A and B are shown apart, each in its own frame.
Chain A
Amino acid sequence: MDNGDQKVEKEFLVTNRQGIHARVAAQIADLAQRFKSDVWITKGNRRVSAKSILDLLTLACGYGSKVIVSAEGCDAKAAVDALGSLFKKRFGES
């Protein structure tokens, strides 16, 4: 592994009532795109890029879905933390 490269993953729960719909997916993709690392979201056995809004939508994460946010690269930890805080504050929804 290159110097400074990290690999981080953490599990989160989709807790807003409408699940990951377009506006939420936009928040995730927009945030993920700001990091240099590759960022993924995994649900069940499917893994998609967190930087693609359409990929996120195809993951079909409803209310209560469990997902794993993972990242690999120089700012992987920061990316997972940032995305994690989005999940925790329910994307600003109820």
Chain B
Amino acid sequence: MEEITFRLKGVGVSQGIAIGKAFVVQKGPVSIPYYTLWSDEAIEEECQRFEEAVRLVEEDLFGIKEGLKNDLRQYASLLDAYRLMLRDRLIYDGTLSLIREKQLNALWALSLTLSKAREIFDGQDRFADRFYDIGSVIDRLMRKLSGGQEDIFSLIRERSILVTHDLSPSDAAQLPLEKVMAFVLDIGGKTSHTAIIARSLNIPAVMATEQASKKIQTGDLLIVDGTSGQVIINPSEEDIQHYIELQLRLDTYLRDIAREASLPAVTRDGFRVVVEANIELLEEIVTAKDNGADGIGLFRTEFGFMNRDDLPTEEELYQEYKQLAELMAPGEVIIRTLDVGSDKLSAWFPPLHEPNPALGLRSVRFCLRHPEIMKIQMKAILRTGAIAGNVKMMFPLISGIGEWRAVKKILREAQEELWRFRIPFDENMPIGIMVEVPSAVAIADLLAREVDFFSIGTNDLIQYALAIDRQNEHVAHLFEALHPAILRMLHFVVREGHRAGISVSLCGEMAGEPFYVPILLGLGFDKLSMNPQSIPRVKNLIRRSSKDQCEALVKEVLRKDTAEDIRGLLMETVEKQFPEEYHFFHSGFVV
């Protein structure tokens, strides 16, 4: 029989292509009967039935946990949490007392328990996902009580593409992952549990298709493209041919790029761009080096301060930074000073309850309020410079010259103290700032005379310049990295930095999106610093570019009126200059 080809579009959350048979799992809601129990015996029987169901679910959870592979240890502990929830007095005692006192049947009683739990967790917006776990435990218990088929996944016999409405973490934990070629879900997104599992196991996944579990049937042949979010059902011979080739070529492409990752990134016309990694933990140095980082362009230091009940000492910080500098030498390490708000340091400081923390006492402002803390960190960083001479110090959120001079005054005091105690430190350590407040952009020419380098933090800069909170779904679509205002700002800062003879880097997420390479090169950035995984692809595109051509592109870009126009021009350029990169990844690119 000839099958009809059709396509579904979702969000690609885990890259890669899979071609295979669908296995559809339908999980409808449990229907709840409403009746009251007429006799003491019936009540006692229903209580026993409930207790038995709890025991069985407990056994199931234990069984799932025992069968888990090591790489899913996190989920094993989630299963422990589920077992405790089952026996929690709110669920266990609560439901039993509804059966006993109100004479409700177990499923009805349990559904009331569920709404009660939901009520308690309501109004805790930030913690909505915490209720999700409770919901999924109760769901499991309801299925057990209603006697329905429950261990659906054990029916997956051969390697298939799993299609379902949604997967809870406990579902995901009991999946025979070795049999799953790809995931296609009706709901979910980039940050959902399943997306994270899929990425960590390198399984392609498409989510938010809305209707996949209704439109696809078990046994349908599917092509899943985890980059573009495209799902093709009953593909034609040509489709299959096309995707098999695409899959092979993508693998080869990424392998070749990875092989060259550790070489320097030099454009065709001989311009070297330093490509560095943003990291937060010492352990991440390994990933950074494996991906070919020339240095650490941003070391976030918040971690060393926050995971403890007391303030770290200079010596503790020094020991941490020292390892970092030694491991990365001769590559440079740029250590950014403490970048947090007072809310995160409530162990030592009373919370301020600021109505608008993004504009509040945070980052360098907080440090200026507590110079003693700032000085401890400054001294630790200065000392680290004496080891291999590869350390630089960077201050976040600088907004004006007066503020910057206040910072430098404290820095001088720190240097003098080290000097007085004859503690060796790097007297010529380069000191730079992050340019991420619009006011700093406007006076970049003035700041450039007083610092050794600029590093532009685009995440905050875009948020402050466009007045957009990216976490706010009502305005998130207005967060445009290619907004003409942003590009003008970048252009101005690079120009003023170079006029003063200092290097200019970009360390926001923008640096890690390979499609932006032509614009960033054309703007003249000396360095790009990004999440380590992006480095091989970015370096590859730099090598295939000519700086001259990129500069011409930027001239044209700066004449455009809207982000939309700029995006169009950029996509055209990428397609022309890097046909392979475009071919494999354009479908997953969102500005």
- A-side interface residues toward B, CB under 8 Å? 12-13, 15-16, 21-23, 25-27, 29-30, 52-55, 57-58, 60, 62-66, 88, 90, 94
Report yes or no: B124 in contact with A53, Cβ–Cβ below 8 A: no
Q: What are 19 A-B residue pairs whose CB atoms fall within 8 Å in the complex? A: A15-B307, A21-B129, A22-B82, A25-B81, A26-B84, A27-B77, A30-B80, A52-B90, A54-B88, A54-B90, A55-B88, A58-B120, A58-B121, A60-B127, A60-B130, A64-B306, A64-B343, A64-B344, A94-B307
- B-side interface residues toward A, CB under 8 Å? 74, 77-78, 80-82, 84-85, 88-91, 117, 120-121, 124, 126-127, 129-130, 133-134, 281, 303, 306-309, 343-347
- CB within 8 Å for A52 and B89 given contacts A15-B308, A57-B127: yes
Across the interface, A57 reaches (CB within 8 A) one of B74, B134, B306, namely: B134
**In the assembled complex, which residues on chain B have CB atoms less than 8 Å from the CB atom of A29?**
84, 88
Report yes or no: A21 in contact with B130, Cβ–Cβ below 8 A: yes
User: A53 CA to B306 CA in the complex, in Å?
Assistant: 25
Known: A21-B129, A64-B346. 19 other contacts (CB 8 A): A23-B74, A23-B78, A25-B84, A26-B77, A26-B78, A30-B84, A52-B88, A52-B89, A53-B84, A54-B85, A54-B90, A54-B91, A54-B134, A57-B130, A60-B124, A60-B127, A64-B347, A88-B309, A94-B303
**In the assembled complex, which residues on chain A have CB atoms less than 8 Å from the CB atom of B303?**
94
Q: How far is the CB of B171 from chain A (nearest CB, A)?
A: 15
Q: How far is the CB of B58 from chain A (nearest CB, A)?
A: 14
Report yes or no: A23 in contact with B77, Cβ–Cβ below 8 A: yes
User: A82 CA to B82 CA in the complex, in Å?
Assistant: 22
- CB within 8 Å for A26 and B126 given contacts A52-B88, A54-B90, A64-B343: no
When C-beta atoms are compared, the residue in chain B nearest to A65 turns out to be: B346
**In the assembled complex, which residues on chain A have CB atoms less than 8 Å from the CB atom of B281?**
94
Across the interface, B347 reaches (CB within 8 A) one of A13, A23, A27, A94, namely: A13
- CB within 8 Å for A60 and B126 given contacts A53-B84, A54-B85, A88-B309: yes
User: A58 CA to B74 CA in the complex, in Å?
Assistant: 22
**In the assembled complex, which residues on chain B have CB atoms less than 8 Å from the CB atom of A62?**
126-127
Among A12, A25, A29, A54, chain B packs the most CB atoms within 10 A around the CB of A54
Report yes or no: B307 in contact with A22, Cβ–Cβ below 8 A: no
**In the assembled complex, which residues on chain A have CB atoms less than 8 Å from the CB atom of B347?**
13, 64, 66
Do most interface residues of chain B lie in helix, strand or loop, or is the interface mixed? helix
Among B126, B130, B347, chain A packs the most CB atoms within 10 A around the CB of B130
Report yes or no: B130 in contact with A53, Cβ–Cβ below 8 A: no
Q: How far is the CB of A53 from chain B (nearest CB, A)?
A: 4
- CB within 8 Å for A15 and B130 given contacts A53-B84, A66-B347: no
Across the interface, A53 reaches (CB within 8 A) one of B77, B81, B345, namely: B81
Report yes or no: B346 in contact with A22, Cβ–Cβ below 8 A: no
User: A55 CA to B87 CA in the complex, in Å?
Assistant: 12
Report yes or no: B309 in contact with A12, Cβ–Cβ below 8 A: yes
Q: How far is the CB of B127 from chain A (nearest CB, A)?
A: 5
**In the assembled complex, which residues on chain A have CB atoms less than 8 Å from the CB atom of B78?**
22-23, 26
Q: How far is the CB of A42 from chain B (nearest CB, A)?
A: 15
When C-beta atoms are compared, the residue in chain B nearest to A26 turns out to be: B81
Report yes or no: B84 in contact with A57, Cβ–Cβ below 8 A: no
Q: How far is the CB of B89 from chain A (nearest CB, A)?
A: 6
Q: How far is the CB of A41 from chain B (nearest CB, A)?
A: 15
**In the assembled complex, which residues on chain B have CB atoms less than 8 Å from the CB atom of A21?**
129-130
User: A13 CA to B130 CA in the complex, in Å?
Assistant: 20
When C-beta atoms are compared, the residue in chain A nearest to B283 turns out to be: A94
Across the interface, B121 reaches (CB within 8 A) one of A16, A57, A65, namely: A57
User: A15 CA to B129 CA in the complex, in Å?
Assistant: 19
When C-beta atoms are compared, the residue in chain B nearest to A63 turns out to be: B344
- CB within 8 Å for A23 and B81 given contacts A52-B88, A57-B134: yes
Q: How far is the CB of A77 from chain B (nearest CB, A)?
A: 18
Report yes or no: A22 in contact with B117, Cβ–Cβ below 8 A: no
When C-beta atoms are compared, the residue in chain A nearest to B87 turns out to be: A53
When C-beta atoms are compared, the residue in chain B nearest to A49 turns out to be: B89
**In the assembled complex, which residues on chain A have CB atoms less than 8 Å from the CB atom of B309?**
12-13, 88
**In the assembled complex, which residues on chain B have CB atoms less than 8 Å from the CB atom of A55?**
88, 90
Q: How far is the CB of B173 from chain A (nearest CB, A)?
A: 12
Report yes or no: B343 in contact with A22, Cβ–Cβ below 8 A: no
Report yes or no: B346 in contact with A66, Cβ–Cβ below 8 A: yes
User: A29 CA to B91 CA in the complex, in Å?
Assistant: 15
Q: How far is the CB of A60 from chain B (nearest CB, A)?
A: 5
**In the assembled complex, which residues on chain B have CB atoms less than 8 Å from the CB atom of A54?**
85, 88, 90-91, 117, 120, 134
User: A58 CA to B133 CA in the complex, in Å?
Assistant: 13
User: A64 CA to B345 CA in the complex, in Å?
Assistant: 7
When C-beta atoms are compared, the residue in chain A nearest to B125 turns out to be: A60
Report yes or no: B81 in contact with A13, Cβ–Cβ below 8 A: no
**In the assembled complex, which residues on chain A have CB atoms less than 8 Å from the CB atom of B121?**
57-58
**In the assembled complex, which residues on chain A have CB atoms less than 8 Å from the CB atom of B344?**
63-64
When C-beta atoms are compared, the residue in chain A nearest to B86 turns out to be: A53
Across the interface, A22 reaches (CB within 8 A) one of B91, B126, B130, namely: B130
**In the assembled complex, which residues on chain A have CB atoms less than 8 Å from the CB atom of B129?**
21
Report yes or no: B343 in contact with A90, Cβ–Cβ below 8 A: no
User: A62 CA to B127 CA in the complex, in Å?
Assistant: 9
Counting from the closest, the 3 A-B pairs by CB-CB distance are: A26-B81, A22-B81, A15-B307
User: A26 CA to B86 CA in the complex, in Å?
Assistant: 11
Across the interface, B346 reaches (CB within 8 A) one of A13, A16, A58, A90, namely: A13
User: A52 CA to B91 CA in the complex, in Å?
Assistant: 10
User: A55 CA to B121 CA in the complex, in Å?
Assistant: 10
User: A57 CA to B85 CA in the complex, in Å?
Assistant: 10
Report yes or no: A26 in contact with B306, Cβ–Cβ below 8 A: no
Q: How far is the CB of B57 from chain A (nearest CB, A)?
A: 15
